[in-house]
Amino acid sequence: MKITKVEAMYLRLPEVKEQCDSGQDALVVRVETDAGISGLGEVDSAPLAVKAAIDGPYSHTITSGLAHLVLGEDPFETEKIWHKMYNANIYSGRRGIAIHAMSGIDMALWDIKGKALGMPVWKLLGGGFHSRIRCYASSLFGDTPEETGELARRFRDRGFNAVKFGWHPMGEDERTDIALVREARRGLGDDADLLIDAGLVWDAKTALQRANAFAEQRIFWLEEPLRADDYEGYRKLTESTSVRIAAGEEESNRLSYLDLMDRGRVDVVQVDLTRCGGFTEAMKIASLAQDRGLPVANHGFTTYINVMAALHWLNSIPNALICEFVAEEETNLREQLTKQKLRAKDGYLEIPQAPGLGIELEEEAIRRYRVA
Ligand code: MG
């Protein structure tokens, strides 16, 4: 089998508001083969920069568009293709955009392999640890502590027993920070897990004070309290609190995860399959974490392609902790983009059993929303 086409498709709603809404646009990668089998991937990054990294021309030995490199290759050779893409972009992306773009291609290749063999991706990865995976409903905070409490109650009513709130207005002042967590706990009740995503707002000492205060509300983890590059701050923080500290969504490729684990000493390693280097790299990151006694979780705030990829990966490693799931069923791009609409049941997501990723595009959505 040979790869015949690599397409980076940018989809965007006609009106995109300046808000932290993950359902307004998407960069989807489609890889086609001469066997008539195609695969899907996704990249959550700067969409047109990713498209340029894929569509761009060959420039010289260590800078090349990715599509140029993979055309004509056998999609089963994912490890070889990963290194071919990496080595041919030493100038333009040992971290960041090029690794993000590689993730979308790698994901699509695993989808093709699964479809060709009639097996779900997790089976090719050697998985089979679970039949379903516990998920948490992932949400932004309400504008006020009281609104946050109300949101928590609604997720509880929908059957979730783990809920995460994140970002604004966390970080504005101590009193608001503490009230947000207190009201979230009140809305959730005592018998559910509460996860807090601070959103990169503090220095290490402030984060330690907040972690100690939030411990009274028995939070499951405190995510990204510090700037992504503050590995020394992460180390000081994790050594000083019993609250689990989670981070990782800003990292790309296993070497940057080594910094987070060995310098930053975080307690939970978060991996976004659409940015870390795809399945090929995510398996290695999970292994590095396992060797250090660390659990991992996915990061995913975009489409159901990302969630499906995460379920295959989490089902293929021994140290999966929990699955992030954006549980908003609005008529945004996420709900329209794919034929499969994922739903949690009693706080769990079923492991997909169809060949490949098990997710297909709704072609009408591509026609309607594709802008590049
Ligand atoms: Mg986060």
Q: State the distance from the centre of ligand 1 to the C-alpha of 94, rounded, in angstroms.
A: 23
Which CATH architecture describes the domain 3-122+364-369?
2-Layer Sandwich (3.30)
> Do 57 and 324 form a contact (C-beta atoms < 8 A)?
no
Which residues contact residue 145 at a Cβ distance below 8 angstroms, ignoring those fewer than 6 apart?
A: 176, 179, 180, 182, 183, 184
Strand-pair category, 63-64 with 58-60:
antiparallel
What is the pLDDT, as a whole number, of residue 88? 97
Q: Is the peptide bond before 318 cis (omega within 30 degrees of 0)?
A: no
Taking residue 232's Cβ as centre, other Cβ atoms within 10 Å add up to 12
Q: State the distance from the centre of ligand 1 to the C-alpha of 8, rounded, in angstroms.
A: 25
Q: State the distance from the centre of ligand 1 to the C-alpha of 44, rounded, in angstroms.
A: 13
Q: State the distance from the centre of ligand 1 to the C-alpha of 197, rounded, in angstroms.
A: 6
- Per the structure block, which two tokens stand in for 164? 């995460």
What is the pLDDT, as a whole number, of residue 178? 98
- pTM of the model as a whole: 0.97
CA distance 266 to 225: 11
Q: State the distance from the centre of ligand 1 to the C-alpha of 249, rounded, in angstroms.
A: 7
Domain spans in the chain, listed from the N-terminal domain onward: 3-122+364-369, 124-357
Radius of gyration (Cα) for the chain, nearest Å?
Answer: 20
Q: State the distance from the centre of ligand 1 to the C-alpha of 86, rounded, in angstroms.
A: 26
Q: State the distance from the centre of ligand 1 to the C-alpha of 221, rounded, in angstroms.
A: 11
Which residues contact residue 225 at a Cβ distance below 8 angstroms, ignoring those fewer than 6 apart?
A: 198, 200, 201, 202, 207, 210, 211, 237, 245
Q: State the distance from the centre of ligand 1 to the C-alpha of 15, rounded, in angstroms.
A: 24
> Do 178 and 187 form a contact (C-beta atoms < 8 A)?
no
Q: State the distance from the centre of ligand 1 to the C-alpha of 240, rounded, in angstroms.
A: 22
* Residue pLDDT tens, the chain, 372 long: 999 999 999 999 999 988 877 789 999 999 999 999 999 999 999 999 999 999 999 999 999 999 999 999 999 999 999 999 999 999 988 999 999 999 999 999 999 999 999 999 999 999 999 999 999 999 999 999 999 999 999 999 999 999 999 999 999 999 999 999 999 999 999 999 999 999 999 999 999 999 999 999 999 999 999 999 999 999 999 999 999 999 999 999 999 999 999 999 999 999 999 999 999 999 999 999 999 999 999 999 999 999 999 999 999 999 999 999 998 877 689 999 999 999 999 999 999 999 999 999 999 999 999 999
What is the pLDDT, as a whole number, of residue 21? 78
Q: State the distance from the centre of ligand 1 to the C-alpha of 200, rounded, in angstroms.
A: 9
Q: State the distance from the centre of ligand 1 to the C-alpha of 67, rounded, in angstroms.
A: 30
What is the pLDDT, as a whole number, of residue 55? 98
What is the pLDDT, as a whole number, of residue 67? 98
Topology of domain 124-357, per CATH? TIM Barrel (3.20.20)
Q: State the distance from the centre of ligand 1 to the C-alpha of 110, rounded, in angstroms.
A: 26
